[in-house]
Structure 1
Amino acid sequence: MALAAGAILLIGTGYTSARVNSDAMDPTYSPGEVVFLERVDAGAIERGDVVLYRTENRYEGMAVLQRVIGMGGDHVRQSPGGPVTVNEKPLVEPYLKDSGPSGVVRAYDVVVPEGRLFLLGDHRANANDSRFFLTEQSGSIAATAVRARTLDSHTGLLMLASTALLGLLLAAGGLAAGIVSWVKRRAGRSLMR
């Protein structure tokens, strides 16, 4: 009962979780790790967010976790071995695997169409991200394809603990109300005899 109440509350609040299936976001998120997410509208997405999205024409329609590098109107480019630049400013990317711009298959230079996002994995050498779809609207995806964005681990754990506690409190309250009701019915029957 408490788990059901907690699950209903979790769904109703706009938070969810997902298990990481690849190392494309390593070291930020490792395979098997559970990440906590909040559902967001396209207008709430910001550069640097790690988002969960799903598109029909990529990854067999499966949900994918990647980092937002560019947004509508941004000029994103990278030369082999060089840093990613957004609007001519090099990105500082401390989250990258091996602390370098590894995994560049070829140079790219795109302007992200309005309403769309350019996404990269943190483990560039093992991420099948926007760089591999450059012929499809500059490798971008529609911002509306985003289902949720990750929460930092402390927020996620706090949210999960709060949800579980509230679920337990609701279950205890329901159980107490049921016992009180049962006792009153029993007492009422005893008085009638």
Structure 2
Amino acid sequence: MGGESTTRTAPRSGGTGTGPVGSRTGQRLSGVAVALGLVLFLAGFGWGVVVYRPYTVPTSSMTPTINAGNRVLAERVDGGEIRRGDVVVFKDTSWVTNALVVKRVVAVGGDTVSCCTDGRLTVNGKKIEEPYLPAGSVAESTNFPEVTVPKGRLFLLGDEREGSLDSTAHLTDAAQGTVSQNAVTARVDAVVWPMDGMLERPTGFETLGALSTPGPLRTILVLIVVGGVLVLGGGAYGPIAKRTGGRSRTEPAGAR
């Protein structure tokens, strides 16, 4: 009998075996990750487009909270949802014709507001802590007598009190500087350029009632980020598996 020879063949790829681009299970999981990632990414992006609008603040009247030229994201809201301390975007033609304005709401319908008592804004007889004002400034840089805000209207100030054309600049108007809540188109949630992040909560107004509920911006960002990571991770599986699998299957040939 002649010498016995043995021919070895590489095992075929099965349901869980390794092929040229990784296991079939791995490929399926990467496909699911990409599909889920796309759903989350598009859902978050679409939600953001529907709920938020971008706006560039042209003046420094809201410094240091928002500087001139900053890009903000403002949640589309109904004027009836506005609370004390909110930074809002609105249009009032008696203030500026055909332009949107950004100011902070310090009093709502039925409130009395004045400045200043011991250097602080007073709303309904309570002195308000305003940590968002420029460092070293005091509220009494702009004094004004007590105003009773009519129902359905808002009293608004800039955080930079000395240079802001706000309600105090219109006190002699018939509405005593107040603006209809229906003029509000959005509430600012965050400064996105530069990336200063979410606005701080105006906690000084908490003693007067509930503050606004934060918008869904954080949830939207989580959906977009997680979706993007899943798409990139799932899409990278094939090339990575191909490279690592190809190296692991390269074995030296031998004979008995």
Secondary structure of the residue that 1:65 maps to in structure 2? strand
Identical-pair percentage: 37
- For residue 11 of structure 1, report the CA deviation from its aligned partner: 3.4
Secondary structure of the residue that 1:61 maps to in structure 2? coil
Alpha carbons of 1:119 and 1:27: their partners in 2 closer, same or farther (altered >3 Å)? Answer: same
Does the alignment pair 1:100 with 2:135?
A: no
Q: State the Cα deviation string for residues 49-88 of structure 1 (Å, max 9, x = none).
A: 0000011221223101100000001000114873110001
Distance (whole Å) between structure 2 residues aligned to residue 85 and residue 95 of structure 1: 16
Asked which structure has the greater CA Rg, the reply is 2
1:139 to 161, 172, 177: 177
Per the alignment, residue 158 of structure 2 pairs with: 121
Distance (whole Å) between structure 1 residues aligned to residue 49 and residue 90 of structure 2: 18
Per the alignment, residue 55 of structure 2 pairs with: 18
Distance (whole Å) between structure 1 residues aligned to residue 217 and residue 68 of structure 2: 18
Is residue 69–residue 119 contact of structure 1 (8 Å, CA) maintained in 2? yes
More displaced stretch, 30-39 vs 81-90: 81-90
Per the alignment, residue 58 of structure 1 pairs with: 95
1:7-46 to 2 correspondences below 5 Å: 10-12=48-50, 14-46=51-83
Instruction: Structure 1: state its 5+ residue gaps.
Output: 170-193
Is residue 15–residue 37 contact of structure 1 (8 Å, CA) maintained in 2? yes
Alpha carbons of 1:102 and 1:20: their partners in 2 closer, same or farther (altered >3 Å)? Answer: farther
Secondary structure of the residue that 2:176 maps to in structure 1? helix
Instruction: Report the AA paired with residue 65 of structure 1.
Output: V
- For residue 128 of structure 1, report the CA deviation from its aligned partner: 0.4
Alpha carbons of 1:61 and 1:68: their partners in 2 closer, same or farther (altered >3 Å)? Answer: same
Per the alignment, residue 7 of structure 2 pairs with: none
Alpha carbons of 1:76 and 1:33: their partners in 2 closer, same or farther (altered >3 Å)? Answer: same
Is residue 119–residue 130 contact of structure 1 (8 Å, CA) maintained in 2? yes
1:84 to 121, 126, 131: 121
Q: State the Cα deviation string for residues 147-174 of structure 1 (Å, max 9, x = none).
A: 000114247576467458879x9xxxxx
State the Cα RMSD in Å.
3.0
TM-score (norm 2): 0.57
Instruction: Report the AA paired with residue 188 of structure 2.
Output: T
Is residue 111–residue 149 contact of structure 2 (8 Å, CA) maintained in 1? yes
Distance (whole Å) between structure 1 residues aligned to residue 227 and residue 159 of structure 2: 35
Alpha carbons of 1:62 and 1:161: their partners in 2 closer, same or farther (altered >3 Å)? Answer: farther
Secondary structure of the residue that 2:130 maps to in structure 1? coil
Q: Which runs of 4+ in 1 moved over 4 A?
A: 5-9, 154-158, 160-167
Does the alignment pair 1:70 with 2:107?
A: yes
Q: State the Cα deviation string for residues 165-185 of structure 1 (Å, max 9, x = none).
A: 879x9xxxxxxxxxxxxxxxx
